[in-house]
Amino acid sequence: MGWHNVGTVTDEDIDCCVRFDRVSKQLSGQILLDDLSVRVPERLTTAVIGASGSGKSSLLNHINGLLQPDSGVVELFGQPLDYRQLSEIRRRIGYAVQEIGLFPHMSVAANITLMARLAGWAERRIDERVEQLLTVAKLPRELLGRYPGTLSGGQQQRVGLCRALMLEPELLLLDEAFSGVDPIARQDIYRDFIALRDQAKCTVVLVTHDIREAVSLAQYGIVLRDGLVEQAGELADLVRNPANSYVESLFSGQIP
């Protein structure tokens, strides 16, 4: 079932946060996922790696129910995903994307706190959480009253991460979230992201086409090609023992 050679971590002994069991999905005649089975280990950062069109964003969008499988089961937090309860489930999942998608009509503060307010958090709890996030993300408080359109790209990306982490999610999904950041600023945002992640202690699934980013941020890797898993396992293991020439070519020359 496309589950190869996982080295020290086998599919039996990991606590898994997300499990795909023979998931297939077609959209307007195009195969996105092809009978795909895979697991995402809990409390680790998993990089979903692949060329564009490999199905990596589709995989991510199945986790929070933006896409529903034609067949197969998506399991989340130990239970099959309940598509009637998506709003509740999504509040336990942070989400940040390459386009960032900050709401332009809301201040930075409103963007970050929107979900907490809708969830009925007390003002004091909101303040404390915002303070915590800003400190870790190295965002000055003065930005709170400004509108997203007046921020730099890096600042917007950090605000997007703060918004995704506001409700202390158990799972954080990142869809090419750092691709828009210029290469010079990227090391800084990687560092701040790691700080945020370690503070949040949540599982992370990040989709990327950038092997260097995967290696910098993730411990676990899933390599996708044409809607199929080429190899999944600890990243170090993927690098050392590629299952095939495709995986090998992906990682060649990418070891720091």
Toward another protein, which CB reaches closer, 43 or 117? 117
Per-residue interface string for the shown chain with another protein, residues 63-102, x marking contact by CB under 8 A? -x-x-------------------xxxxxx-x-x-x-x-x-
Distance, CA of 148 to CA of 109 (rounded, Å) = 10
Per-residue interface string for the shown chain with another protein, residues 10-49, x marking contact by CB under 8 A? ----------------------------------------
Total chain residues near another protein (CB under 8 A): 25
Distance, CA of 45 to CA of 49 (rounded, Å) = 13
Applying CB under 8 A, which of residues 104, 140, 183, 253 lies at the interface with another protein? 104
**Which residues does residue 49 pair with via DSSP β-bridges, in sequence order?**
208, 223
Applying CB under 8 A, which of residues 147, 170, 219, 248 lies at the interface with another protein? 147
Residues making contact with another protein (CB under 8 A): 64, 66, 86-91, 93, 95, 97, 99, 101, 103-106, 114-115, 118, 147, 149, 163-164, 173
